[in-house]
């Protein structure tokens, strides 16, 4: 099983493809230089396979590469960052 995480700027989200099938996404709202992540969804067919974690990890790695920052309103992403504090430096506090 191969994972590919790509940004879809037209839909304001990062998507994960599993063997070329859309398996899930994490949506954001651009606010200046910051991406505010609001929602993560994984298709039922791909639940409990690590797809959600792979999606968030791939998203955060790409954001780090670009030098961007994020705000997190999505509970799934917030929980992932709490479990992986090495990503906490990407997060700005919500006003």
User: For the residues of the chain, what is the DSSP string, one character each?
Assistant: --EEEEEEGGGTEEEEEETTEEEEEEEEEEETTEEEEEEEEE-GGGTTTTHHHHHHHHHHHHHHHHT-EEEE--HHHHHHHHH-GGGGGGBPPP-
Q: Which residues pair with 34 in a beta bridge?
A: 31, 69
pTM (2 d.p.): 0.94
Q: Tell me, what's the pLDDT at 95?
A: 57
**Domains identified in the chain and CATH numbers:** 3-90 (3.40.630.30)
For the chain, 95 residues long, the average pLDDT of each consecutive 10-residue run is: 93 96 97 94 95 97 96 97 97 78
């Amino acid at each position: 099983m191969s994972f590919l995480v790509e940004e879809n700027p037209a839909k304001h989200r990062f998507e994960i493809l599993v063997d070329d099938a859309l398996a899930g996404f994490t949506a954001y709202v651009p606010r200046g230089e910051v991406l505010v992540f609001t929602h993560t969804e994984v298709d039922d067919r791909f639940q409990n396979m690590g797809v959600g974690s792979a999606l968030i990890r791939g998203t955060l790695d790409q954001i780090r590469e670009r030098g961007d920052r994020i705000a997190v309103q999505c509970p799934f992403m917030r929980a992932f960052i709490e479990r992986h504090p090495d990503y906490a430096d990407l997060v700005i506090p919500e006003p």
